Chains A and B, each alone.
Chain A
Amino acid sequence: AQSVSQHNHHVILSEAASLELGCNYSYGGTVNLFWYVQYPGQHLQLLLKYFSGDPLVKGIKGFEAEFIKSKFSFNLRKPSVQWSDTAEYFCAVNGPGGSYIPTFGRGTSLIVHP
């Protein structure tokens, strides 16, 4: 079965710092990859997704993620975080093959100090 590892459970940064959140998955083959974000008191929202094509994916609010197939990774990055990026971030993977139910990681809680 697919498993998803998010290595950083809690991250604390100051505004303008750069962010990279790790995500690795276990099962190879064709997969679809997602990053979701949950801001305090709000619902889970899709930040970005990768289905095929350019492995560098750009999402909303200046976030991007890079799919590295050889490393089974899909790390999330942002060059300069803002206080409003304080949220919980979840990596999710569905696949391979016909498995369309996404498997989520444990989430990373990000706190950005102004």
Chain B
Amino acid sequence: EAGVTQFPSHSVIEKGQTVTLRCDPISGHDNLYWYRRVMGKEIKFLLHFVKESKQDESGMPNNRFLAERTGGTYSTLKVQPAELEDSGVYFCASSPGTGSYGYTFGSGTRLTVV
């Protein structure tokens, strides 16, 4: 079974630019989650999709972040315009059901805003 795939693995952009991160969940997993870890801090929840619908986006930091999951397959997380404090590792996870049962994480995208 293929795992959760994220790309790019690393991205370095200048402040004010736009970056789009992509997550391909495990095939058949309706639930997709985005998390972020700022260096040295805890992994924080950003949002949760069930198929193409946003179930919970309470963790999204502000309106510079836009997540989509068209067709209920892969998801994108766009940051526009990027700020220095957006630097961190963005993780994606998917699961067949709601909750932490069967969570599978991707390797993450390390975003550096300079």
Asked if A and B are interacting partners, one says yes
Q: State the A residues within 8 Å of B (CB).
A: 4, 9, 32, 34, 36, 41-46, 49, 90, 92, 94, 100-107
Pick from B61-69, B77-85, B103-111 the stretch touching chain A: B103-111
Q: Is the CB of A106 within 8 A of B41?
A: yes
Q: Is the CB of B103 within 8 A of A100?
A: no
- B: interface residue count bin: 20 to 34
Could you name 21 residue pairs across A and B whose Cβ atoms are closer than 8 Å? A32-B99, A34-B100, A36-B105, A41-B107, A43-B3, A43-B108, A44-B91, A44-B93, A46-B103, A90-B43, A92-B43, A94-B99, A100-B98, A100-B100, A101-B45, A101-B48, A102-B100, A102-B103, A103-B42, A106-B41, A107-B42
Instruction: Give the contacting residue for A100; candidates B44, B99, B108; CB below 8 A.
Output: B99
Q: Is the CB of A104 within 8 A of B56?
A: no
Residues of B within 8 A of A4 (CB): 42
What are the 7 tightest A-B residue pairs by CB atom distance, in nearest-first order?
A44-B105, A100-B99, A104-B43, A43-B107, A106-B42, A104-B42, A43-B105
B84 to A: closest C-beta gap in Å: 21
Q: Is the CB of B71 closer than 8 A to any CB of chain A? A: no
Chain B residues numbered 40-75 whose CB sits less than 8 Å from any CB in chain A: 40-45, 48, 56
Q: Is the CB of A92 within 8 A of B100?
A: yes
**Bound CA–CA A101/B35 (angstroms):** 11
Q: Is the CB of B4 closer than 8 A to any CB of chain A? A: yes
B18 to A: closest C-beta gap in Å: 26
Extra contacts, 14 of them, besides A102-B103, A107-B42 (Cβ < 8 A), are: A4-B42, A9-B40, A36-B105, A42-B107, A43-B3, A43-B4, A44-B93, A46-B103, A49-B100, A92-B43, A92-B100, A100-B98, A104-B44, A106-B40
A95 to B: closest C-beta gap in Å: 10
Residues of B within 8 A of A34 (CB): 100
**Bound CA–CA A66/B40 (angstroms):** 25
Most chain A CB inside 10 Å of its own CB: which residue of B40, B41, B42, B93:
B42
Instruction: Give the contacting residue for A32; candidates B35, B40, B100; CB below 8 A.
Output: B100
**Bound CA–CA A77/B34 (angstroms):** 29
